Amino acid sequence: MNNNDIPIYKNPDFPIDERVEDLLNRMTLEEKISQMLYYSSAIGRLDIKEYNWWNECLHGVARAGIATVFPQAIGMAATFNPDRIYEVASVIGDEARAKYNEFQRQEDRSMYKGLTFWTPNINIFRDPRWGRGQETYGEDPYLTGRMGVSFIKGLQGDHPEYLKAAACAKHFAVHSGPEEERHEFNAVVSVKDMRETYLPAFRDAVKEARVEAVMGAYNRVNGEPCCGSKTLMQDILRGEWGFEGYYVSDCGAIRDFHENHKITDSPEESAALAVNMGCDLNCGMVYEYLKDAAKKGLVSEEAIDRSVRRLLKTRFKLGMFDPEDRVPFNKIPYDVNDCEEHRQLALQVARESMVLLKNKDSFLPLDKDEIKSIAVIGPVADNRSVLLGNYYGTPSKYVTILEGIRQAVNKDTRVYYTEGCVLGDVQQSHWGNPARTGFSEALSMAERSDLVIMCIGLTPEFEGEEGYAANSDGGGDKLDLSLPGLQRELLETISMTGKPIVLVLTSGSPVDLCWAEENENVRAILEAWYPGEEGGTAVADILFGNHNPAGRLPVTFVRSLDQLPPFRDYSMKNRTYRYMESEPLYPFGYGLSYTKFKYSNLNVSKKELFTEDDEDIFVSVEVENIGGLAGDEVIQLYIKDLEASVRVPIWQLNGVKRIHLKPGEKAKVEFILKKRQFALIDEKGECLLEPGKFRIFVGGQQPDKRSQELTGQEVLYEDIEYKGQVVELEY
């Protein structure tokens, strides 16, 4: 058979749009609708295989067996290293293809076995109570955008014709809790806040990374359901940004239209509204009513064709209708999955993610040759779930914090271990023993040790998605910032021994650390997040000086909830470092090192510019390691509008670079700033560059007083001025 005898849709020599159209024209209405459900049916007569669109890879291929598990997304954000995240996502894409290729060989087409991954989550972590904040890249739109773009590009690959895997930016948009109310909640937000904070990362994902899919959120935004919103889906996403990929509902979100939001009266009306607004794929079952909706005149076959066309195009771009040997990613062997090289990358990312919050009198790093005994105390020390976070795969090997410490110390060092208390249950057991029954053993071990490593914090059972965080009193969210159960009391009790304490915290979000920060016996605090399969090794490497920490907080650690507005308030006023009026405990962008860096010779290429010109600004600074240890430094660039006509952020991150320097080594770091980065969003949502003065800060932290107090270092700055008229820029 020559190519002329092959149907156009099966002929890879034809343009993809022609192939899609040819296949679409061969399908009946029922067949088209069958492709709009996430469990898409096989169509034998057209050689269309059954396909399940639902797959996850938040920090490794998830829910599909053995895979490399990297640190949770919030931990990856703490690396402040977009290049590393690209590397991680590229590896995830390789493992995804390796597993998919093998699943196809085994004729396994079940859920979580495909190539359409509903990742990354680029919502803004606006409030520390939100349980799913751990899935995000933190509170800052710029950092979230850089991390999201890197992840998407790494996962999808750079082949000119084929996608390695299809990424999906979620949850569009203005979505960050409360989890218990997400099926009925209406997020009320100004157009200024929407475009200033909630939308930029999605814009970057669509316009820069060319993400293949976007997932709508459960909630409404200003009255419109996110999976049926003309404003979000038609006006902004497709109209303004030119998005051409497929749009998928969050799972069950379309059913919410009639059952919870009460904006439609039936499944037929809900299905029609979603399709008419441009939701192509239903994670759920409401699209089973599309045929009835069409009969009632609620939706046209043309609208259905539009959605199926987009879905088919994604499958064509993944190579699903082409000869196996034509798609280069089909050659990725199964052996790359969970290989040693990927495990080493997971370890490196875990090391880079951890944030040293306190190090009184340079107590860390520890000298293992001087330590004869260590007490490792706490309910997360030997807990595997804290390595994983949520939306995780299954490692072939777990290294808990306890195991990492045992591997790191000298062979004759005594390592005591006890949980000390359970994680959250403070009730009496059925034997009548009080929950403090472990305190006495913990005290005995602490008294006999040279130092104590307290391992406490949160686990995914206390924070996460609705229905998954089993021990959350907030349906997945936290009601407060306190440590669950008796962990705080255990810490205070152990501190009374006078033994030096290193606190290792596991969490996907901020917790109350005020007491630990102020207590003299707590010498150091290390935020480990949910650090992945090699998390314990990474913790030990930092504690014992095999790695110099340089992670930075991607989210503000407030002192208390009194510093924040109510959880349900989506206004950005007094939220995140960009708008917060009171002083936090630990600021966004903060993190300590075992060495010290000096900044000098900040240079800005031009200090007077005109709003009408498209001239870039080149910023350079010299960074020198003046300490005694090699280490990474995270250089952060912030911009402050000094003369804005409307409320704008106090300052905002607009550049980040992570570099490695040996002792005495100096490097010149450069940034390029576009004039768009100096623009503001006015009350109408317009993007304007106003004439006026701006301040550019460069350093290893924010330019705030608290960061300076904690680090003992200031940042450099230079002022520039734009002259001319107000200019409207493309958003």
Model confidence at 427: pLDDT above 90: no
**Token pair of 604, please?**
């800005």
Residue-level pLDDT at 437:
87
Phi, then psi, of 359 in degrees rounded to 5: -155, 75
Model confidence at 435: pLDDT above 90: no
β-strand partners of 635: 657
Nearest of 314, 353, 356 to residue 165 by alpha carbon? 314
Nearest of 608, 593, 615 to residue 673 by alpha carbon? 615
pTM over 0.85: yes
Q: Average pLDDT in the 301-330 region?
A: 97
pLDDT tens-digit readout, 5-38? 899 999 999 999 999 999 999 999 999 999 999 9
Q: Please, is 650 exposed, middle or buried when counting C-beta atoms within 10 Å of its C-beta (0-12, 13-18, 19+)? A: middle
Residue-level pLDDT at 2:
58
pLDDT tens-digit readout, 499-541? 999 999 999 999 999 999 999 999 999 999 999 999 999 999 9
d(C-alpha 454, C-alpha 504), whole Å: 6
Model confidence at 429: pLDDT above 90: no
Q: Positive or negative, the Cα torsion across 478, 480, 483, 489?
A: negative
Told to judge if 614 belongs to the known catalytic residues of this protein, a careful annotator would answer no
Estimate the crossing angle of helix 340-353 against helix 535-543, to 10 degrees: 50
Residue-level pLDDT at 432:
53
d(C-alpha 470, C-alpha 435), whole Å: 20
Q: Give start-end residues of each CATH 3.40.50.1700 domain in the chain.
A: 346-554
State how far the alpha carbon of 31 is from the alpha carbons of 47, 110, 333, 725, in Å.
Answer: 12, 19, 34, 56
Beta-sheet strands, E only, within 566-725: 597-604, 608-610, 617-625, 631-641, 652-661, 666-673, 680-681, 687-689, 692-699, 716-723
Model confidence at 247: pLDDT above 60: yes
Q: Average pLDDT in the 67-74 region?
A: 98
- Which residue's structure tokens are 């560059």? 689
Measured distance between the N- and C-terminal CA atoms of the chain, rounded to whole angstroms: 51
In this structure, which CATH number among 3.30.465.10, 3.30.70.960, 3.40.640.10, 3.20.20.300 belongs to the domain 27-333? 3.20.20.300
d(C-alpha 113, C-alpha 301), whole Å: 30
3-state SS, 365-408, equals CCCHHHCCEEEEECCCCCCCHHHHCCCCCECCCCCCHHHHHHHH
Model confidence at 163: pLDDT above 60: yes
d(C-alpha 726, C-alpha 717), whole Å: 25
Chain centre to alpha carbon of residue 521? 34
Q: Decide if 268 contacts 295 (C-beta within 8 A).
A: no
Residue-level pLDDT at 702:
98
Q: Decide if 357 contacts 586 (C-beta within 8 A).
A: yes
Q: Average pLDDT in the 110-128 region?
A: 98
pLDDT tens-digit readout, 205-227? 999 999 999 999 999 999 999 99
Q: Average pLDDT in the 572-600 region?
A: 98
Q: Give start-end residues of each CATH 3.20.20.300 domain in the chain.
A: 27-333
Residue-level pLDDT at 436:
85
State how far the alpha carbon of 83 is from the alpha carbons of 590, 636, 653, in Å.
Answer: 20, 15, 17
Percent of the chain with pLDDT over 70: 98
Q: Over the chain, what is the mean pLDDT?
A: 97
* Amino acid in position 220: R
**Token pair of 531, please?**
């650090």
State how far the alpha carbon of 225 is from the alpha carbons of 172, 230, 249, 401, in Å.
Answer: 10, 9, 11, 43
> pLDDT band at residue 424, thresholds of 50, 70 and 90?
confident
| CA trace torsion 369, 372, 377, 383 (10° rounding) | 60
The neighbour count for residue 58, using CB atoms within 10 Å, is 25
Contacts of 346 (CB under 8 A, 6+ apart): 60, 68, 69, 70, 71, 532, 533, 534
Residue-level pLDDT at 426:
55
At the fourth CATH level, which superfamily is domain 346-554? Glycoside hydrolase family 3 C-terminal domain (3.40.50.1700)
Q: Decide if 586 contacts 526 (C-beta within 8 A).
A: no
pLDDT tens-digit readout, 645-681? 999 999 999 999 999 999 999 999 999 999 999 999 9
Catalytic residue among 56, 193, 212, 463: 463
d(C-alpha 44, C-alpha 601), whole Å: 68
Q: Average pLDDT in the 144-170 region?
A: 98
| DSSP 8-state secondary structure symbol assigned to residue 665 | -
Provide the CATH topology of domain 597-728.
Immunoglobulin-like (2.60.40)
Catalytic residue among 139, 193, 250, 533: 250
**Token pair of 487, please?**
């962990």
User: Which helix or strand (DSSP H or E) is residue 201 part of?
Assistant: helix 200-207
**Token pair of 521, please?**
């016996």
Residue-level pLDDT at 636:
98
Q: Average pLDDT in the 282-293 region?
A: 98
Told to judge if 583 belongs to the known catalytic residues of this protein, a careful annotator would answer no
